[in-house]
Amino acid sequence: MNEYADRLVSGLVSLEDDLAREFEMRLADSSALAVRVAFSVVRHREDAEDIAQQALVKAYQQFRRLRERDRFRAWLVRITWRLALDWRRDHQRRALREHAAAALTPPVGNAEVDALQADRASRLWAAIDELPDRLRLVLVLAAIEGHTMTEVAALMRLPEGTVKSRLFEARHRLAERLR
């Protein structure tokens, strides 16, 4: 009886160890993705890291059913996006205005160039903010890490054709706004 219990306990401990190891792999693999998705919404590095951290903690609590890499990343993108939208709703536009230009355009030292780049970034992100969510997330995921259409479709759990048409529409709207 005791031997059986020992084996059971050691089996459970080893299962937990395996889960912890796998989660470490996912953490290394997907941290940047979560931070970038959050940053695309809040445009503030520390806030983006806080949001990504919350998302990863939630992912850890669900990790038993999220052990597949693709499933984990898709879930992480969704939950990070939602948390970031919540954060932005709570902090509204004040923080965005403060952060947007400075965070997205590192200064190059020339005041005139810096001003032009800040203006361009400000217009670009204002246009991105006006896109509906379904187009905005596709655009951000396609821009991040050079994701292919197939990868974006897997991350969003959508058919590839849907992703293509959404990306086409998003880019078209952006180009119109920035012309």
Partner 1 sequence: MNDERDELLKEIGAALSIEPSPAFAARVRAELTTAPAGLPWGRIAGALAAASLAVVLVSRMGLFEPAAPDRASPAAVPAPAVTAAAPLEIAVPPQARPRPASAEGAARQAPRRAQPRAAVISPDEIDAFWQIVAEVQVEGTPLPPQRWPIDDITGEIAGLPEIAAVHVRPVTIEPLPGAGASVDTSGGLNE
Q: How far apart are CA 80 and CA 104, in angstroms?
A: 20
- R_g of the chain, CA atoms, integer Å: 20
- What's the CA gap between 48 and 96, in Å, rounded? 12
Nearer to partner 1, 14 or 27 (CB): 27
Q: Is 102 in the site for partner 1 (CB under 8 A)?
A: no
52 is a site residue for partner 1 (CB under 8 A): yes
**Piece in contact with partner 1 (CB under 8 A), picked from 72-80, 122-130, 149-157, 158-166:** 122-130
- With CA atoms as reference, report the closest residue to 77 among 136, 129, 12, 7: 136
Q: Which of residues 53-82 bind partner 1 (CB under 8 A)?
A: 53, 56-57, 60-62, 64-65
Answer for the pair 138, 170: CB distance below 8 angstroms, yes or no.
Answer: yes
Number of residues in contact with partner 1 under rule CB under 8 A: 39
- When asked if residue 28 is in the footprint of partner 1 (CB under 8 A), the reply is yes
Q: Does 109 bind partner 1 (CB under 8 A)?
A: no
Determine if 27 is a binding residue for partner 1 (CB under 8 A).
yes
177/78 Cα distance (integer angstroms):
27
Q: Determine, following the binding rule CB under 8 A, whether residue 144 of this chain makes contact with partner 1.
A: yes
d(CA 48, CA 100): 13
Interaction between residue 108 and partner 1 (CB under 8 A): no
